[in-house]
Every structure is written in structure tokens, then in C-alpha cells.
Chains A and B, each alone.
Chain A
């Protein structure tokens, strides 16, 4: 294990604490009052009881500590109870949505499959395409194909997803009518016909999301491949009479994995943030839409928890990237 990776590991918890405090502090400034819509006829003492039930009578730091306890102790033990049939939570209050009065975690559990189906698939396809494109254009460096690939990658960088989405929807959904404009999450795959419908509706969101991923990862893969291809061991491999395929995949690609995998690991959680926009465009009722809807109605517990969840994903991905580099980078450690 490398010193730099260990240092990162030690930084994970403080980082998450700072981020959670930041999110909480920002939301403390929110103007909304969950009691504002209650009728005036409610007596003052009942009103005070209701505020206490929502935890509003406590001071900021106390509510922050309670929120942390709910996130770290109560919710995981509820999940364990569900899994093992135990009673660790002992009916402790969970994080509740102000709008629906349902536990935030079950709202998230309802939304997560849709996000994962669209975003996860998009990231997988985008990553595979990017690595293939990066290897391919590095192997044919300087040809028209390489230049076209680099130009497309540069454009994918600058093109905002809502623009590519608008163009793709206009061309493929409205003009050609091949695919639907919105993503129907109630659609169930039961046979070949419904599978075809599912395939058609998932094409556009996946294309929009993966274009972004592809652009980013292609640039790094290509650069790392080019660096590897200039090394002496490649010349040796060629001199041994190995095929181009073997040289590229077994020798050059393996040595450029460090850079490529780092970008892939670091990019994964950012896709969740990008999904906020893509879900909004295609009407996917995933995590991103939950966040936007909750923001619009001022449902702070949901906003707080979803944002924190994305933050945790980002921190974990950073950590995974560091550990991965420490594991696979053959160069000696100077950290």
C-alpha cells in the first residue's frame, strides 16, 4: 500500500464530515417553513408540538448531530433489520420527507433503479466505446480517422447535454419518429415486443450520457496509448514479430491502464450529477428528478440526503481511484 493512498484513506472521513456540514449549513439558510401551510386554527401549543415532532425546536448544531446519527446509525440499522429480520433500529425516528411523510431512504430506493438502469448502462457503453476509440485512434495516429475522432471528442466536451439531447430528440424522435421522446419507467419487459420498446426508449438517454463520457475518456486513453506506443518495449515487441493486435492490447493498453482507469473511476459519480439534467430532459423519474422536485417544493430532508448520497459516491470513487492506482501502478512509490 502506498503512502499517498493511505493518506487519502485517512482523509475520507474528515472530507465527508466537512461536506455534510457544508450541505447542512447551506440548507439552514433556506427560507421555507414546513409548518407554513398548516391552517391558522391550530392552537399554538399543538403547533409547537408539531414543530417539536419535526425536530424544529432544537438548535442548528443539535439538529446537525441528529441528522448525522440518523444517516450513520438509524438508516443503516433499518436496512439491516430489513435484511436480517433483527430489531436494531428499535423504532428510532428515520429521516422523513416533509412532503410525503415517507422515509427518505425508501423514496431513494424507489428512484434508484431507474437512475441506475439509464445512467449505469450509459456509463458502461460510453466507457467501452471510449477505450476502443482511444486505442483505435492512437494506433492510427495522424490519419484522417484519428483527426475525426479527436474532433468529435473535443466537440463532445463542449456540447452541453441538453443541447445534444434536444438535437437527438428532434431528429430521431420527432422528425424520424424512431424512438419515443420521453422515457416510460412504468414499462415492463415481458416478451420480445416489450423488450424492443424498452430498447428503443433507452437509446436516446444512453446516447446523450455516453457521448459526454466517451469524449472525456477517449482523450485520456488516446494520450496514454500514444505515450505507451513510443516506449522501447513496444519496439521490442514489434521486433519479436508480434501482431499489431497483440502489441496494442497486451503491451500498450496494459501499460496505459493506470491513466485510463483513473479517469473512469473519477468520472463515475459525476455521471450521477449529469443524470440530473438527462433525467429532466427525458422525464426519467430517477434520483436527479427527485432532487429537482424536492428543491422546488422546499423538501429539505430529501434534498439534504440525496446531495449527501452523491457526495459520498464522489468521495468513494476518488478513494477507489487512488487505491486502484496504488495497486496497479508498476512504478516505485515516492509519496
Chain B
């Protein structure tokens, strides 16, 4: 697939999912927590287009709600991760003194066993964060912050290289001679010149975040049942794969479509050479 078509595909897949998740409730306004106990484990019908689960909750409504959670996690975690990566990449690229320590820190983070550590963090920090932010916001903060905090290394490395390349250009020297301070140089002179790789890194961070969140939820250490992210829905659906395959396959397909869409978008500028 050439790059332009891949880009179109990415826009279509991601845009379609976002539109579905945001506009879906207008067409299908069933609350995802409403239990229809007369229709438990119901097959697909007009009342429940994708069937219901063991508590009679509408699967279509749960998928839409789950999509909003999964995409919100991806967005916030990617913002946290890209923000950290940008700050570290800028600092390491602009300052010779900070470069070596920051890059060693990046190396150490790259060697961390991420999934086990995130599993530990999700277990250990759950109660304290829930006490601060309340149960629902607490778990959201826990998952987005811990994914973001472990998802900045690639961004930092790429942006550091880009920043160093920009720093060698004449207009930076000119700006320095004009007496412009480093934060102003970073914001007005460097940032516009690294916006393309920054965008690609952010897209890749978002794809990684959506996969990581669903992995945590899949292992039962992510979102609770009344906050059904797509990963959580797969976790609930997998034991019933033989009897009700749709329950695990629908959310799985949506994760796959979203992640593929984001990856296609990111590939256009980043990724290995085609």
C-alpha cells in the first residue's frame, strides 16, 4: 500500500470509530448500565442489535460507552506521554549539560519491564488514587498517568534528534544573537520545525496507549465492570467465547480497527522506510 492510500485508510478507520463512538448514543440512546433482566444473554434482535450480556445489559450501548473510555484514555495518556517526551526531548536537544543524564534516564526507562510494572502500579496505587479523586476518576487517572509516564521514551529520543538538527540552523544562531531567551526559542523557533515528527509520535503514543489500556483491562487490572472499556469487555467476553462469541469479538475488532487506523496515520511520516 502506498503512503497516500495508507493515510486515507487511517483517516477513514480512525475518523469512523471516533464518529461512531461520539455520535452513536444519538442513534442508540440506551444507557450502558441499564439491565434488562428479562432478556439476559439475548441473541441479536431489534431490541438489542448485538445482544445482551449475562446481566441483560445492551452490548451495543456498552461498546459505545467503552469506546468513549478507551479513546479518552488514549487521548489523555498520549498527551501525558507526548508532553513528557517533548519536554525531555527539548531539554536534551537544547542543553549540552542536560543531554547525557536525560538520555541515560531514557535508556533506563526503555529497559523497564513495562507490562509487569504497570500491572503492579495498577494493583498498588488503585486504593490511594481512588481515595484522592473518587473511585471512577481515580481509576482513570491511575491508568492514563501510569501509561503516559511509561510511554514517552520513543518521543523523547526522536524529538531530541530533531531538535539537535534544528539547533544547528542559522536562524537559531540569529535568534540567540538577538538575545532571545531559551524558552522563547524553544516555543517559537524550534517547535514549529518539529511539528511533523511530534504529530507522528503523538499518534504512535495514542495507539500504544489504547493497546496498553486494553491489555491491563484484559488481565482484570484495568477498569471496573461499570466503566466498560473495550479491553474490559474482552476480559468479560473471553470466558463465553464458545457460547456468545460476539461479546469478545466486537470490542476486539474495534480496538484492532482503531489501533490500525492510528498506526496507518503515523506510518505516513514515521516508521521504517518504505
- A residues near B (Cβ < 8 Å) are 11, 15, 18-19, 22-23, 26-27, 29-31, 147, 150-151, 154-155, 157-160, 162-163, 166-167, 169-170, 174, 181, 219-220, 222-223, 226-227, 269, 273-274, 276-277, 280-281, 291-292, 295-296, 298, 303, 306-307, 310-311, 314-315, 318
A160 near B127: Cβ-Cβ < 8 Å: no
CA distance A219 to B104 in the complex (A): 28
Q: How large is the interface on B (under 10, 10 to 19, 20 to 34, 35 or more residues)?
A: 35 or more
Smallest CB-CB A-B distances: 10 pairs: A163-B252, A158-B260, A158-B259, A223-B272, A310-B113, A273-B115, A307-B116, A166-B248, A30-B124, A311-B113
**Which residues of the other chain, A, contact B120 by a CB distance below 8 angstroms?**
23, 26-27, 295, 303, 307
Q: Mark B116-155, 1 if CB is under 8 A from A, else 0.
A: 1101110111011000000000000000000000000000
Q: List 23 A-B contacts (CB under 8 A).
A: A26-B121, A27-B120, A29-B124, A29-B125, A151-B1, A154-B263, A154-B264, A159-B259, A162-B231, A162-B238, A163-B252, A163-B255, A166-B252, A269-B113, A273-B113, A277-B218, A295-B120, A295-B221, A296-B220, A307-B113, A307-B117, A310-B116, A314-B111
Within residues 186 to 223 of chain B, which ones have a CB less than 8 A from any CB in chain A?
Answer: 207, 211, 214-215, 218-221
B104 near A162: Cβ-Cβ < 8 Å: no
Residue among A18, A158, A227, A276 with max Cβ neighbours from chain B (10 Å): A158
- Chain B nearest CB from A133 CB (Å) reads 14
With known contacts A31-B124, A154-B264, A273-B114, A160–B211 Cβ distance under 8 A: yes
A18 near B108: Cβ-Cβ < 8 Å: yes
B112 near A19: Cβ-Cβ < 8 Å: yes
CA distance A280 to B218 in the complex (A): 9
**Which residues of the other chain, B, contact A23 by a CB distance below 8 angstroms?**
117, 120
CA distance A223 to B272 in the complex (A): 7
B273 within 8 A of A: yes
B238 near A281: Cβ-Cβ < 8 Å: yes
B253 within 8 A of A: yes
**Which residues of the other chain, B, contact A291 by a CB distance below 8 angstroms?**
116, 119
B128 near A29: Cβ-Cβ < 8 Å: yes
Q: Which residue of chain B has the shortest Cβ distance to A161 in the bound complex?
A: B215
Within residues 228 to 254 of chain B, which ones have a CB less than 8 A from any CB in chain A?
Answer: 231, 234, 237-238, 241-242, 245, 248-249, 252-253
B107 within 8 A of A: yes
CA distance A181 to B248 in the complex (A): 15
